[in-house]
Amino acid sequence: MQPDGNYGMIIKSSDQVPHATLLKRFPIPRNFGVTPESRIGRGTTWPVSGSATRVKTFVIYRYDPDSSDNPRLDTFEVDLNDCGPMVLDALIWIKNKVDSTLTFRRSCREGICGSCAMNIDGTNWLACTRFISDLATPATIYPLANLRTIKDLVSDLTHLFAQYAAIEPWLKSKTAEPERERLQSAEERNRIDGYYECILCFCCTSGCPSHWWNGDRFFGPAVLLQAWRWLTDSRDETKEERLDNLEDPFRLYRCHTILNCTRTCPKGLNPGKAIAEIKKKMIERRS
Amino acid sequence: MDPPNMQNMRSPLARAIGLGSAKEGVGSWWAQRVSAVALVPLTLWFAASIIANSGSDYATFVVWLRTPLTAVLMILLLIALFYHTALGLQVVIEDYVHSTTRFAAVIAVRLGCSALVTTGVVAVLHITLSG
Amino acid sequence: MMPSSKTTRSRPLSPNVQIYRPQLTSVLSILNRITGVLLSASAVVLVVWLVAAARGPQIYVPVQAAIASWIGRIVLFGATFAFFLHLCGGIRHLVWDTVNGFELRSIYISGWAVVAASVVLTVAAWIASASMGG
């Protein structure tokens, strides 16, 4: 457990694990408001052998598209002496030693590819950069919130990537291409710091209540952060079209500065601030 | 997003683009902020006045309400309050109501706020100008 | 992405508000919204009260008595707390609109400041009102 100081009441960076919240979840029924196919049922328990000394219990969301069953919660006991320190190590241990049908995305195991984004103990993070020792008992692992589940912890990100494509995330210029590289001062290059590092894991978008209720039309923090990345890049010459494309009561203005995004970003980025910068540009261009 | 079926075979990009950008929205956002800035001093003045007038009887209260400065501030408070309320409630309705009922609900909220602010202003003027 | 022929049902939606951890960020935000809606109702009451004052003492005195009853006082106390929460939360929002205070540390400090200030202001307002004889 990392020492938090202030009893965890003041969060200084997003990698501080949210231990100190008053409630672990809103006090509503577990299947509140869900459609029949999304109702979660009880699943199986997979106990570990008696010789394990350090054991951690994981409750994991499971869904098998090849059966006609609803999603369920399976309980796994993991031998921590046999497994690496991160949540992804535990998932791989379960897949190797206990239930090989457990399905999840993973690649780099170092927090840069964004594949293993999931909801761990109630907040979204990357499984490969979350320590098992920081988890509650039992630990709960769900897929990213409010997304269609393909299988187990693998979610359908198609719509999120489509929203990303809709902001045209590439350099657009009107003047002729330069003979050599497009010049940019050091100060201009610094303006994209904090925005170009996004790994598109969608932890932020999946944790935004406004995107939960209006995700079909609201672009969400990840896409809007990238929109700002291109708006503030001095080499791009289509600010007017980009701002026109964003000025919409739903695409941009469903953001009510809830700030779950900044709290949950596993790379420490600040989508809330990026969105505020876009809104400021909206005002500046008409005053 | 659901997988495509016979009713819905649009590409994901088409679904994300939807009807395109409305190219407006900053106006309401700005009006909400301006009315909020106006409401900070106006509501604090109102709260302080109510506290200062606690325990006074009807006659004393009406004498206070009848002063021109009070009337002006009260009218400004009503206008800013109901403008801010209408915009705020419209956003709440748009967030949670997704059927076409939302248009009727937004119209009802806006007309209701207009009616209430007019009633309030007329009441203040009635107190100030009569007697 | 096409489902196999035997599963034409929709994919299940992963839980959102049912399992997401409430944090200072989301809780203060929803409180700002809830207090805003409550204050909208209070605005209606304000107009009713002004109309009562305009109609003369026969209408005004019973309305004032209802507000001064013990149930009226409880509602008024709640409304005052809602008012100060929305006011302090609103000021926090206005500061954010100038693109200031977005570091996580500032978000949390300003958040707790809003809660503390609301409590202090509500208590102070009621003490001041009581000392005025209300």
- Could you read off the pLDDT of A235-244 as tens digits, one per residue? 999 999 999 9
Read off the pLDDT of residues B48-95 as tens digits, 9 standing for 90 and up.
999 988 877 888 888 898 899 999 999 999 999 999 999 999 999 999
CATH for the B26-129 domain, from 3.40.640.10, 1.20.1300.10, 3.40.50.2000, 3.40.50.620: 1.20.1300.10
3-state secondary structure (DSSP) of residue A129? helix
Contact A277, A122 (CB under 8 A): no
Between vectors from CA A52 to CA A48 and to CA A53, what angle results, nearest 5°?
A: 135
Check pLDDT > 60 for residue A260.
yes
Closest residue in B to C80 (Cα) is B47
Among the partner residues A159, A250, A254, nearest to B12 by beta-carbon distance: A159
The pLDDT of residue B6 is 58
Closest residue in A to B27 (Cα) is A283
CB distance A158–B17 less than 8 Å? Answer: no
Residue A214 tokens read as 């209006």
**Mutation to test the B interface, candidates A144, A146, A158, most B Cβ within 10 Å:** A158
Domains parsed from chain A with CATH numbers:
6-155 (3.10.20.30), 158-176+184-284 (1.10.1060.10)
Burial label for A165, CB within 10 Å (0-12, 13-18, 19+), is middle
**What one-character-per-residue DSSP string does C16-83 give?**
STTTSPP-HHHHHHHHHHHHHHHHHHHHHHHHHHHHHHHH-HHHHHHHHHHHHSHHHHHHHHHHHHHH
For the segment A170-190, the average pLDDT, to the nearest whole number, is 94
Read off the pLDDT of residues A213-233 as tens digits, 9 standing for 90 and up.
999 999 999 999 999 999 999
What stretches in chain C show pLDDT beneath 50?
Answer: 1, 4-7
Check pLDDT > 60 for residue A107.
yes
* In CATH, C24-131 is 1.20.1300.10: yes
In this prediction the ipTM stands at 0.92
Distance in angstroms (rounded) separating the CA atoms of residues C95 and C101: 7
Distance in angstroms (rounded) separating the CA atoms of residues C127 and B113: 33
- What kind and span of H or E run contains A280? helix A271-284
Domain boundaries, chain C: 24-131
HSE toward the beta carbon, residue C26, CA cutoff 13 A: 25
User: pTM of this prediction?
Assistant: 0.93
Domain boundaries, chain B: 26-129
Between vectors from CA A78 to CA A73 and to CA A83, what angle results, nearest 5°?
A: 130
Chain C: nearest CA to A258, how far in angstroms? 5
The pLDDT of residue A146 is 96
